[in-house]
Copies of this chain bind each other. A is one copy, B any other.
């Protein structure tokens, strides 16, 4: 029997990086893709989601999810098309999102728990939006802001990584909730984008001057909710400007993910005491039973044009190692996705 598929290509984890991942930390691997097993499917990956969290999965040690093992295909979310199916759950031509890993083809049981494929409706939104506003970043923003941040109309919401996938949606959802929204991002272009295109009230360019001064200027009523994607000095600056009973959502800390020395803890954390404020962590997976609600709401807002989904598409599967670094170099505007193939 001849094999109907071209060879699969994968990036496997070769070594645990110290600091920024290097090319030597990856193993480029080729292997054949077999026909699907009984109850199985083969998915051709079209887009891979590149996420800051991937850096954490490369480290050893307990976290909210087990680390990627040495020699294992790197974990990643992806969007693909079913090109072979021996499962009643999926038909050829179905578009799916799930944990494809960093490879061109995924093959296995249709109900694989790790991949956790779900079928998407490509008519509802552009394909790449399913890895962004209608995918994990969107769900993170939607549930993290609403359930943990709990902003009320009229309050001031600050979000860091404002021009990143999660931050963009946080700000737009907060505007829909009647809040004053101030972003923090690196560079004039990013700041201009979130204000002019996404309707943020203001955006502080942390590369242009002290964040503290920007907060003073743009948050004259103080900060009620801070949605933190970056950690480090920016978290510390916001802590000096929070209001009584403020809520800080700890969603990520991209500034610290490649730290080779100890993570910088928030030196101003005693502002929590003074202001009877709280800092709370969130992980999007906890809201999995409610993703349908998040997708429906955000898709509705996208269709009426009041929320935008912006993806930064970079091309070429073999460029994965350098594409991932774009996140940590702040090179992406919006959700960074790697285009792997045409449908």
Q: List residues of A whose CB falls within 8 A of some B CB.
A: 62-64, 231, 236, 250-253, 256, 262-283, 286
- Tell me how far the C-beta of A240 lies from the nearest C-beta in chain B, rounded to whole angstroms: 9
* A268 interface neighbour in B263, B273, B275, B277, Cβ under 8 Å: B263
In contact, A280 and B278 (Cβ under 8 angstroms): yes
Residues of B within 8 A of A279 (CB): 269, 272, 278-280
- Tell me how far the C-beta of A312 lies from the nearest C-beta in chain B, rounded to whole angstroms: 24
| Chain B, residue nearest A240 (CB) | B62
* Given A265-B265, A265-B269, 16 other A-B residues pairs in contact with their CB atoms under 8 A: A63-B274, A231-B270, A256-B270, A263-B268, A263-B270, A264-B265, A264-B267, A266-B269, A269-B279, A270-B281, A272-B281, A274-B281, A276-B282, A276-B283, A277-B280, A278-B281
| A271 CA / B269 CA spacing, docked (Å) | 15
Residues of B within 8 A of A253 (CB): 270, 273
Residues of B within 8 A of A236 (CB): 265
| Chain B, residue nearest A269 (CB) | B265
Residues of B within 8 A of A272 (CB): 250, 279-281
| A276 CA / B231 CA spacing, docked (Å) | 16
In contact, A281 and B286 (Cβ under 8 angstroms): no
In contact, B269 and A273 (Cβ under 8 angstroms): no
Residues of B within 8 A of A269 (CB): 250, 263, 265-266, 269, 279
12 A-B pairs within 8 Å (CB atoms) are namely A63-B274, A64-B273, A250-B269, A250-B270, A263-B268, A265-B266, A265-B268, A275-B281, A276-B280, A276-B281, A276-B282, A279-B280
| Chain B, residue nearest A239 (CB) | B265
* A265 interface neighbour in B64, B267, B277, B282, Cβ under 8 Å: B267
* A277 interface neighbour in B62, B251, B281, Cβ under 8 Å: B281
Chain A to chain B: the 4 pairs with minimum beta-carbon distance, closest first: A265-B265, A273-B281, A272-B281, A278-B280
- Tell me how far the C-beta of A41 lies from the nearest C-beta in chain B, rounded to whole angstroms: 32
| Chain B, residue nearest A249 (CB) | B273
| A264 CA / B266 CA spacing, docked (Å) | 8
* A263 interface neighbour in B262, B267, B276, B283, Cβ under 8 Å: B267
In contact, A286 and B276 (Cβ under 8 angstroms): yes
- Tell me how far the C-beta of A267 lies from the nearest C-beta in chain B, rounded to whole angstroms: 4
- Tell me how far the C-beta of A297 lies from the nearest C-beta in chain B, rounded to whole angstroms: 22
| Chain B, residue nearest A62 (CB) | B274
Residues of B within 8 A of A277 (CB): 280-281
| A286 CA / B63 CA spacing, docked (Å) | 36
| Chain B, residue nearest A228 (CB) | B273
| A63 CA / B64 CA spacing, docked (Å) | 35
